[in-house]
Amino acid sequence: MEINTERLKLLPCTEELMTSVTYELRPHIKMHLQDLLIDSSLLGWGPWLIIEKKSDQIIGDIGFKGKPTLNNTVEIGYAVVPVAQNNGFATEVAQAIVDWAFTHDDVDMVIAECLEDNIASIKVLKKLGMTVVGVEKQMLKWQLHKHV
């Protein structure tokens, strides 16, 4: 399983992949790998590594916070290493992962959240066409509906 964009490649995090690359196993990745051992249907619905094709370097991760809910909703999150920021990579991979999610019949909406002062993420989410639907504890809540 792989998602390709013009400049980037996305690979879903698996135990096999993570033992063959150098990338920080942050808590959300560790938790996903443990959950994946119990439920293989989670593959794709957790973090994906972002790899710049030109350099073949891992420049961050993006993904979902679990499988689609009963309301056909998934939540995305992402992080790009500082040296690779301000190149449009986050927007490129966020669009790709949202497009991938919307190819599934059980996904009708993608949600996200970011801090009110996270200008970079606000720009990314706006470029995706997401709209702010609320604010909770300084976190902007965003959503995007599938176009049918």
Q: 64-87, pLDDT tens digit by residue?
A: 999 999 999 999 999 999 999 999
The topology (CATH level 3) of 3-145 is Aminopeptidase (3.40.630)
Give the pLDDT band (50/70/90) at residue 116: very high
Dmax (CA) for the chain in angstroms is 40
Quickly list DSSP for 61-82. EEEESSS--TTSEEEEEEEE-G
CA-nearest of 19, 106, 16, 92 to 51 is 92
**Coil, helix or strand at residue 123:** helix
The model's confidence at residue 133, banded by pLDDT at 50, 70 and 90, is: very high
What is the tens place of the pLDDT at every residue in 87-109? 999 999 999 999 999 999 999 99
CA-based nearest residue to 48, from 73, 82, 23? 23
pLDDT of residue 148 exceeding 90: no
Distance, in Å, from the CA atom of 8 to the CA atom of 105, rounded to the nearest integer, reads: 25
Tokens found for residue 21: 């690359």
Q: What percent of the chain has pLDDT over 70?
A: 99
pLDDT at 147: 83
Angle, helices 119-127/89-102, rounded to nearest 10 degrees? 40
pLDDT at 65: 95
Quote the pLDDT of residue 24. Answer: 84
Distance CA 10, CA 74 (A): 18
